[in-house]
Amino acid sequence: MKSFLSKIHKIDDEILDAYISYWTPYKVPKKTILTSPGQTERYIYFVLEGIQKSYYLNESKEHITFFAYAPSFSGVLESFFTQTPSRYYLETITDSAFLRISYEKHEQLMQDYREIETLFRKATEQFLAGVIQRHHELMAFDIETRFKTFAKRSPHLFNMISQNDLASYLRIDSTNFSKLINKVHI
Buried b (16+ CB within 10 A) or exposed e, 97-136: ebbbbebeebeebbeebebbeebbeebeeebeeeeeebee
Percentage of the chain surpassing pLDDT 90? 83
pLDDT at residue 67, as a whole number: 94
pLDDT at residue 184, as a whole number: 78
pLDDT at residue 34, as a whole number: 97
Identify residue 184 by its one-letter amino acid code: V
pLDDT one-digit tens code per residue, 79-127? 999 999 999 999 999 999 999 999 999 999 999 999 999 999 999 999 8
Domain that holds residue 79: 2-113
Task: List the CATH number of the domain containing 47.
Answer: 2.60.120.10
In this predicted structure, the answer to whether residue 186 has a pLDDT above a threshold of 90 is: no
pLDDT one-digit tens code per residue, 141-172? 999 999 999 999 999 899 899 999 999 999 99
Residue 123 lies in a domain: no
In this predicted structure, the answer to whether residue 11 has a pLDDT above a threshold of 90 is: yes
pLDDT at residue 60, as a whole number: 87
pLDDT one-digit tens code per residue, 29-86? 999 999 999 999 999 999 999 999 999 999 888 999 999 999 999 999 999 999 999 9
Residue 151 lies in a domain: no
Between CA 102 and CA 142 the distance in angstroms is 40
In this predicted structure, the answer to whether residue 185 has a pLDDT above a threshold of 80 is: no
Residue 69 lies in a domain: yes
Please, which pLDDT band fits residue 181 given cuts at 50, 70 and 90? confident
pLDDT at residue 100, as a whole number: 98
In this predicted structure, the answer to whether residue 8 has a pLDDT above a threshold of 80 is: yes
pTM: 0.88
Q: How many domains does the chain have?
A: 1
| 96 to 31, 32, 78: CA distances (angstroms) | 10, 9, 21
Question: 29: helix, coil or strand?
Answer: coil
Report which of 50, 100, 105 is spatially closest to residue 75, judged by C-alpha positions: 100
